[in-house]
Amino acid sequence: MAARVRALETILTRKGLIDPEAIDVIVDTYETKVGPRNGARVVARAWSDPEFADWLKRDATAAIASLGYSGRQGEHMQAVFNTAETHNLVVCTLCSCYPWSVLGLPPVWYKAPPYRSRAVIDPRGVLQEFGLTLAANKKIRVWDSTAELRYLVVPQRPADTDGWSEDKLAELVTRDSMIGTALAREAA
Amino acid sequence: MVVALHERGLFGWAEWAERLSAEVKRPEAAADGSDYYERWLAALERLLAEKGLAGHDEVDAVAAAWARAAHATPHGQPIVLENDPESAPSLSAATP
């Protein structure tokens, strides 16, 4: 497999279609610069600033871009807010569409067939396997990502965090809580 | 590489996602998704072949050259394509 990848890179470089240095920059960006901390900042801002939360609800693409995070594939973002009544869960049943600009690269399980099929058929069961048992009367909405539209879950703000700074709040926001397979951390 | 090619405007991201989705859905794909990167590579190869950007035979040939180069490269040194004994210009020039 490695030889075929190198072969593609060689052919495309010879034809001037790619620049190996540009690829190194892209890889470095996603490996070291872009990650779920971006999404955590978005969520912490939404928790702290009702106007921003409102903007995020109406036009997540623009609100997120205002913090400097925009997608490379021209995709649109939609933020889905957890409430006391409803929990949101994100999946990509087709392949692995994922909000890279705010969460970085997807975890292995997100790309695996069991999650991709079962998140839709039995979301409550899947969440239990992640250690998250929701009250029976809590509704679960499953959002199926596409190449054009990616979702970010805004978890509920944990109790006893009044007056916390955005930085401190962001530490409670985990990657999984923004996919919907977990809740935000409790205030310690 | 996919991101770079997309940014050059060689294909749309939806077009790419469609190919990738078709590859991971093929019956021979591993049920646990352990071959995800192989599927990803297969999707890219198909797309590039269809676009006439890199044909299957061309990729086979260059991949074979890389494999030969890897064998010909002493351990601990970086593998470069010039190490392929069959494609080294100095050797082919010396051949009568």
Q: Where are the domains of chain B?
A: 2-54, 57-94
**Contact with chain B for residue A63, Cβ under 8 A:** no
* Distance between B17 CA and the closest CA of chain A, angstroms: 6
Each domain of chain A, given as residue ranges in start order, spans: 1-33, 36-179
Please give the mean pLDDT across all residues of chain A.
Answer: 93
How open is the CA angle B11-B12-B16, to the nearest 5 degrees?
85
- Residue A7 has a pLDDT of 92
The beta strands (E) that lie in chain B are given as none
A70 falls in which pLDDT band (50, 70, 90)? confident
Instruction: State yes or no: A95 annotated in a binding site.
Output: yes
Please give the mean pLDDT across all residues of chain B.
Answer: 85
- Residue A96 has a pLDDT of 86
* Distance between A141 CA and the closest CA of chain B, angstroms: 23
Of B8, B17, B63, the CB nearest to A17: B8
The predicted model gives A83-94 an average pLDDT of 96
Q: What is the pLDDT of residues A156-184, one digit of tens each?
A: 999 999 999 999 999 999 999 999 999 99
Name the one residue in this structure whose structure tokens are 């991201």. Answer: B13
Identify the three-state secondary structure at position A77. strand
* Distance between A111 CA and the closest CA of chain B, angstroms: 7
Q: What is the pLDDT of residues A100-121, one digit of tens each?
A: 889 988 998 999 889 999 999 9
Residues with Cβ within 8 Å of B24's Cβ and at least 6 positions away in sequence, in order, are: A95, A113, B33, B36, B39
Residues with Cβ within 8 Å of A20's Cβ and at least 6 positions away in sequence, in order, are: A9, A13
Q: Which of A48, A92, A101, A145 is catalytic?
A: A92
Question: Is A95 labeled as catalytic in the residue annotation?
Answer: yes
The predicted model gives B33-52 an average pLDDT of 91
Which run of H or of E encompasses A42? helix A36-48
Residue A84, pLDDT above cutoff 70: yes
Which amino acid belongs to residue A58? R
Backbone φ and ψ for A77, nearest 5 degrees, come out as -110, 145
Residue A139, pLDDT above cutoff 80: yes
Q: Which of A48, A97, A117, A145 is catalytic?
A: A97
* C-alpha to C-alpha distances, B86 to A5, A8, A21, B78, B95, nearest whole angstrom: 20, 19, 27, 18, 11
Question: Is A70 labeled as catalytic in the residue annotation?
Answer: no
Q: What is the pLDDT of residues B73-96, one digit of tens each?
A: 888 788 888 888 887 554 444 444
| Partners of residue B69 in chain A, C-beta under 8 Å | none
A36-179: CATH number = 3.90.330.10
Q: What percent of chain A has pLDDT over 70?
A: 99
Interface of B with A in 4-23 (CB under 8 A): 4-8, 10, 13-14, 16-18, 20-21
**Contact with chain A for residue B54, Cβ under 8 A:** yes
Cβ–Cβ below 8 Å for A8 and B45: yes
Question: Is A177 labeled as catalytic in the residue annotation?
Answer: no
B48 falls in which pLDDT band (50, 70, 90)? very high
Q: What percent of chain B has pLDDT over 70?
A: 90
**Contact with chain B for residue A6, Cβ under 8 A:** yes
The one-character DSSP state at A163 is T
Which run of H or of E encompasses A80? strand A76-81
